[in-house]
Structure 1
Amino acid sequence: MVFEQLLNISPITLFILLPAGVLIYGLLQYFLDPLRSLPGPFLARFSRFWYFFELYKGSFEETNIELHKKYGPIVRIAPQEYSVDNVDAARTIYGHGNAFIKAPWYTAWKPPDPNKASLFSDINPHRHGAQRRKFSSLYSMSALVGYEPFVNNCTSLLCQRFNEIAQAGKTVNLQHWLQYYAFDVIGEITFASRFGFLDMGEDKEGVFHAIDQRGVYSTFVGIFPWIHPFLYPLLPKTGGHGYVLNYTLRQIEERQKSLKDPRNAGREGPPDIMTKILLAHEAEPTTMTRMDLITMCQSNIGAGSDTTAITLSSILYHLIKYPHTYQRLQNEVDTAAKEGRVSDPVTFKEAQDLPYLQAVIKEALRIHSATGLPMQRIVPAGGTTIANHFIPASSSVGINAWVAHRNTSIYGLDADHWRPERWLEFEEQGRGAEVEKYALAFGMGSRTCIGKNISLLEMSKLVPQLVRRFEFRLDGELEREGLRSCNRWFVKQMNFWGKVFVRDIKSEG
């Protein structure tokens, strides 16, 4: 009877009732909120649409920084959702063994079937822990030595392409070239076969755009995660993500055939990740499933290329923009080469003994973190206290790396500026460990990015090769207007155009 009456409501009545219902719901959220005294934008008290539209602008990392400058260490960004800037809160929210699970926003980054979740998108801490233990050895520091030949291959090819670009006098999008590099490196590390972006010098399949679009979907749908199960089946099954999936399936099939071929017995090459997982799957198929194999390989490609490319772009852009830091790094590498302390190419171990290089990498991760939204977690039963405020259970709290990395009490009064030297000063002051506790570029605690070491491997090996072989100049328009980025979870540089010049080798000494 009630349903029939609803069907008979006129469109005009619905037009009036729906906004009224939304308004009443928003007012109820406000008046029933035990934390209504916490500050934040006015509209964020009533609806998640304020957050949605701020994300749409594409610069929420900057908005988030300004919100904390205006309102303090806790800011409301949506009903029952808070952005935090507090060192002690980082340990509370992200520390090992804490009961703060990932917020529902992350569910939009996976299929509705929880068994197909990646390590990044899985909100079940027990399943995540079990899955992470399966793969952690593949990403350990000790495993990196086996991946260095793959990085060397791609570094050599990128340097070859930069030589050609310099000879042609072209102005190029350096971010694109660094993403070609990062994509091909992770292809080699994962499959012992690069995708060929460095060979082609372009993305013919539109893979980057498709991965970006899937990120746009997940970023916005995650704000209203209840609609994800309805929208997900409508997503295109072709395009960039389809390309990555099909490429992954082909690589697995070919490797299975290769491993069974007796002619390949005794042939050994550098150990790629897919082969390691595949062998574990064939030995224990119920423990290491085929879905584990597919999901992990896809995750490597989807996340590993973007995050590393963004940080490499941050390194190179800031070095070029502040030439005295470029010169200092170049001098460090030149001196180490002259004294026989680094090889050509530089090994990962040698790179660890170049203090200014490591300071540059840390500063690039700090000043332009790859991700630019708060890493939201759900407050467990019993609630918690953050910055002297009691936050009840089921609230969502999170810290944005961009906000944390501009905390002046940790990083100094010049935290808004590029200055790699601060990391050398932290070491001299004995503050290195303290500062690292609020360095969130790779996340924190049990949810720290599993690919962190691989990303550091790529950066530590490529950057010295670039500064010892090349000089760069920013495009005139970029110098005038500054770097533009678009924040769709990943804060991707949009106008990093410049020229490449082959360095006079005599200048090395």
Structure 2
Amino acid sequence: MSSPQDQLLAVVKAQPVWLWPSIPVFLFLAYFLVPYFGQHAALQKYHGPLSAKFTRLYLARASRNGVRSIKVHEQHQKHGKFVRIGPNEVSIADPRALPIVYAHGNGSLKTDFYDAFVSIFRGLFNTRDRAQHTRKRKIVSHTFSQKSVEEFEPYIAETINLLLQKWDGLGKKSAATNGKMKGYAVVDTLDWFNALAFDVIGDLAFGKPFGMLERDAADIVAITKEDGTVFHAPAVRILNERGEFSSTQGALPPWIRPYTKYFDPWFARGAASVNNLAGIARNRVAARLAEGSGDRKDILAHLLAAKDGEGKPMPRNELTAEALTQLIAGSDTTSNSSCAILFYIVKHPRVHKKLVAELDEAFKDRGIDGVLEYQDVKALPYLQACINEALRRHSTSGMGLPRLMTQDTEVLGEVFPAGTILSVPSYTIHHLESVWSDPYVYRPERWLEEGGKDLEKNLNVFSYGPRSCVGRNVAMMELLLFMSTLIYRYDFKLVDDSVEELDVVEGFLRKPLGCMMGVKNRSTKA
């Protein structure tokens, strides 16, 4: 039996000469229509945007505009659990689909979406080959075991201490003397959380901070080009541009990606940022290798000591790629999440007061100086509930990560043929009425009520399965230390308390655009 493409070619050849000028138009239409009526015909029953049934441009446009998760969420609100978001892609808004779509044994693969994130060398995040991913994860996973992560705490605490010094200084020099913010120093908490997260991951991954906190949250860093020349540029802007660019490129067909820079200068800037981000890792790895690890027990020290199944260390380009992966994963994820968590806590005075009371009770025998310890704060139930609830509401990683089904796969009663791409959108499952009562309300108490423990299986912050975030332990340590120490030490006030939600733009992650707050030392305990 001939394929649809062969049948199409036969039709073209049979046309009279006078119709040949229309053939390009015919072929253009056929490019979209043949798959729709051919290999993707089984997906016709799933509703979604009309354009998404024929082309990947729907997701690419939503990504380009920074609203991918929200647009997919709107489609689920309109059409229900199953939504067709691409010619061969279906989004499934049900947390019960997570262990099926992202399971280890179903043969699913990462799609060509991840190719758009490759730089230098494939890292743990963008490796699509299952065998290679297993090899990499075995090498890297020991670095992020709970025992190893606890060795990172002194480095994290040292960097937090520098933030405390800076904010204490702001309180003395910059506090307002009148008006609503009297006694408070006004800061953009996003800027400072960016600096804090970059300096922490710089210290953990490369042996020393980037120096952003020391420069009062200025984010200029050194970048080494492939030819060895060094220049300086803003790291946060580079990281943001890279996320927006790669997510949009990943939504496009691979054949068109090399040409996008000719249609839109935005893509050219993004491509440059991909190279510049690699240059940051290249610069820091080279410096660390030249200086040596000494007695440090940080991420790069673990990666340098790691061996694969044959007892071989990672080659230089792979080592740099994995360090780059940690730089990306440990910077804007943590800063964006921290900004959102603090916003939701301060936005709700009842929650803020209750959390302060928990901290005061737990640490009533010590002053407010210094960084609280992980072993103490990880046991505080309301603190954990406040963080979980903010991670749910904000959904820093909000999109559904795509997986290619290599065999016919049944999900919640629906059978999807091999070749279908499935995804489970985190933002949407975090806001399902069927799972969360009042899903658009920030209410940490839900995590402490009867059945609250069961909610954790519906919280998809670090993805799911064998390809979930390997650094989740260190991420949660950072969030617990950041929030407990800052809220215990300082009082916060929103500059504009009429703001109901943070303004957000989405690249690979959902990024707040800023959050202005007043901050001052707590003179007495609540």
Q: Shorter-chain TM-score category?
A: 0.7 to 0.9
Cα distance 1:453–1:51, how it changes in 2: closer, same or farther (>3 A)? same
| Deviation for aligned residue 1:183 | 0.8
Cα distance 1:180–1:347, how it changes in 2: closer, same or farther (>3 A)? same
Q: Secondary structure at the match of 2:492?
A: strand
Asked if 2 retains the 8 angstrom alpha-carbon contact of 1:150 and 1:192, the reply is no
Cα distance 1:30–1:130, how it changes in 2: closer, same or farther (>3 A)? same
| Deviation for aligned residue 1:313 | 0.9
Letter in 1 for 2:425: N
| Deviation for aligned residue 1:488 | 0.9
User: Which residue of 166, 173, 181 corresponds with 2:196?
Assistant: 181
| Deviation for aligned residue 1:312 | 0.7
Q: Distance in 2 between matches of 1:89 and 1:295?
A: 31
Matched with 2:142 is 137
Q: Distance in 1 between matches of 2:367 and 2:148?
A: 23
Letter in 1 for 2:404: I
| Deviation for aligned residue 1:385 | 1.7
Cα distance 1:316–1:213, how it changes in 2: closer, same or farther (>3 A)? same
Q: Distance in 2 between matches of 1:28 and 1:321?
A: 52
Equivalences for residues 241-390 of structure 1 within 5 A:
241-255=278-292, 268=295, 270-280=296-306, 286-338=312-364, 344-381=370-407, 383-390=408-415
Identity %: 28
Instruction: Kindly provide the CA deviation profile for residues 440-460 of structure 1, in whole angstroms up to 9, marking residues without a partner as x.
Output: 110001011011111111111
Cα distance 1:356–1:18, how it changes in 2: closer, same or farther (>3 A)? farther
Cα distance 1:447–1:341, how it changes in 2: closer, same or farther (>3 A)? farther
Between 1:132-141 and 1:41-50, the stretch displaced more is 41-50
Q: Distance in 2 between matches of 1:252 and 1:336?
A: 42
Asked if 2 retains the 8 angstrom alpha-carbon contact of 1:472 and 1:499, the reply is yes
Matched with 1:263 is none
Matched with 1:265 is none
User: Which residue of 27, 30, 36 corresponds with 1:30?
Assistant: 36
Between 1:18-27 and 1:392-401, the stretch displaced more is 18-27
Asked if 1 retains the 8 angstrom alpha-carbon contact of 2:64 and 2:244, the reply is no
Cα distance 1:232–1:248, how it changes in 2: closer, same or farther (>3 A)? farther
Cα distance 1:246–1:282, how it changes in 2: closer, same or farther (>3 A)? farther
Structure 1 unmatched runs, 5+: 1-12, 260-267
Matched with 1:391 is 416
Cα distance 1:48–1:130, how it changes in 2: closer, same or farther (>3 A)? same
Note if 1:490 corresponds to 2:490: no
Letter in 1 for 2:90: Y
User: Which residue of 203, 206, 209 corresponds with 2:219?
Assistant: 203
Note if 1:162 corresponds to 2:167: yes
Letter in 1 for 2:484: P
Note if 1:439 corresponds to 2:467: no
Q: Secondary structure at the match of 1:397?
A: strand
Asked if 2 retains the 8 angstrom alpha-carbon contact of 1:48 and 1:79, the reply is yes
Between 1:21-30 and 1:205-214, the stretch displaced more is 21-30
4+ residue runs over 6 A deviation = 231-234, 281-285, 340-343
Cα distance 1:131–1:343, how it changes in 2: closer, same or farther (>3 A)? farther
Equivalences for residues 198-237 of structure 1 within 5 A:
198-201=213-216, 202-204=218-220, 205-227=233-255, 230=258, 235-236=271-272
Cα distance 1:49–1:231, how it changes in 2: closer, same or farther (>3 A)? closer
Instruction: Kindly provide the CA deviation profile for residues 108-142 of structure 1, in whole angstroms up to 9, marking residues without a partner as x.
Output: 1114x8xx211111111111011101111110111
Cα distance 1:313–1:277, how it changes in 2: closer, same or farther (>3 A)? same
Letter in 2 for 1:317: F
User: Which residue of 452, 456, 459 corresponds with 2:479?
Assistant: 459
Matched with 1:424 is 448
Note if 1:43 corresponds to 2:67: no
Cα distance 1:126–1:292, how it changes in 2: closer, same or farther (>3 A)? same
Q: Distance in 2 between matches of 1:280 and 1:50?
A: 42
Between 1:222-231 and 1:126-135, the stretch displaced more is 222-231
Q: Distance in 1 between matches of 2:283 and 2:61?
A: 35
Matched with 2:493 is 473
Q: Distance in 2 between matches of 1:238 and 1:444?
A: 29
How many residues get paired? 474
Q: Distance in 1 between matches of 2:133 and 2:288?
A: 26
Cα distance 1:352–1:238, how it changes in 2: closer, same or farther (>3 A)? closer
Between 1:46-55 and 1:167-176, the stretch displaced more is 167-176
Between 1:164-173 and 1:135-144, the stretch displaced more is 164-173
Matched with 1:90 is 98
Cα distance 1:349–1:37, how it changes in 2: closer, same or farther (>3 A)? same
Q: Distance in 2 between matches of 1:34 and 1:437?
A: 30
TM-score, normalised relative to structure 1 = 0.87
Q: Distance in 1 between matches of 2:398 and 2:122?
A: 22
Cα distance 1:91–1:446, how it changes in 2: closer, same or farther (>3 A)? same
Cα distance 1:484–1:19, how it changes in 2: closer, same or farther (>3 A)? farther
CA RMSD of aligned residues (A): 2.7
Asked if 1 retains the 8 angstrom alpha-carbon contact of 2:201 and 2:327, the reply is yes
Matched with 1:507 is 525
Asked if 1 retains the 8 angstrom alpha-carbon contact of 2:398 and 2:425, the reply is yes
Q: Secondary structure at the match of 1:437?
A: helix
Asked if 2 retains the 8 angstrom alpha-carbon contact of 1:166 and 1:499, the reply is no
Equivalences for residues 104-115 of structure 1 within 5 A:
104-111=112-119
Q: Secondary structure at the match of 1:417?
A: coil
Letter in 1 for 2:247: T
Between 1:127-136 and 1:45-54, the stretch displaced more is 45-54
Matched with 2:27 is 21
Q: Distance in 2 between matches of 1:122 and 1:308?
A: 23
Note if 1:414 corresponds to 2:438: yes
Matched with 1:59 is 67
Q: Distance in 1 between matches of 2:405 and 2:504?
A: 32
| Deviation for aligned residue 1:244 | 3.0
Q: Distance in 2 between matches of 1:93 and 1:189?
A: 33
Between 1:40-49 and 1:271-280, the stretch displaced more is 271-280
Matched with 1:7 is none
Asked if 2 retains the 8 angstrom alpha-carbon contact of 1:26 and 1:47, the reply is yes
Q: Secondary structure at the match of 1:507?
A: coil
TM-score, normalised relative to structure 2 = 0.84
Q: Distance in 2 between matches of 1:231 and 1:46?
A: 21
| Deviation for aligned residue 1:307 | 0.7
Cα distance 1:493–1:290, how it changes in 2: closer, same or farther (>3 A)? same
Q: Secondary structure at the match of 1:335?
A: helix
